[in-house]
Amino acid sequence: MLILHNSFYDANANAVVQYPYKEGETRITAKGKKILDLPTGGYNNHWTRNIIANEDGSKIYVSVGSGSNVGEHGINNEKRRADILEINPDGSDEIIYASGLRNPVGMDWARCTNTL
C-alpha cells in the first residue's frame, strides 16, 4: 500500500489499483481505478507485491516475484516477473527498473545513497 499525491495505491497480486484519498480518512468508499495489470496465475509462484515511491513522488516501484524457481513452467510464464517495475503515478511509462530478483519484497531506500 502507498499514499501519494491524494491517492491511495494498492498493489494486488494481479494489478495496481488507485483510489482517491484525503489525509486523515480512515475509510475509502470510492471505486478504485486499475492503473497497471500485473502478471499472475500458476501454482506456487511468488504472488506478493510491494509498492514504494521515489522521494519526489514522480515514480512508483512495484515488486513482482518470479513465477517459478528455475523457469520450470516455461520462459513465457516469467515475462514481467522477477522484476521491479517503474511507473508514473498514473500507471503510464512502465519500464523494468531491476530484473532477475526471484522475490523482491521489502523494498526501501538506502539513507546514505538514496538507492533502492
pLDDT tens for 19-72 read: 999 999 999 999 999 999 999 876 667 888 999 999 999 999 999 988 887 778
| pTM reported for the whole predicted model | 0.91
Q: Which residues contact 41 (CB under 8 A, 6 or more apart)?
A: 67
What pLDDT sits at residue 47? Answer: 83
Highest mean pLDDT among 1-15, 40-54, 101-115: 1-15
Q: How far is CA 41 from the centre of its chain?
A: 16
Long-range contacts (CB closer than 8 Å, 24 or more residues apart) made by 109-114: 109/52, 109/54, 109/55, 114/55
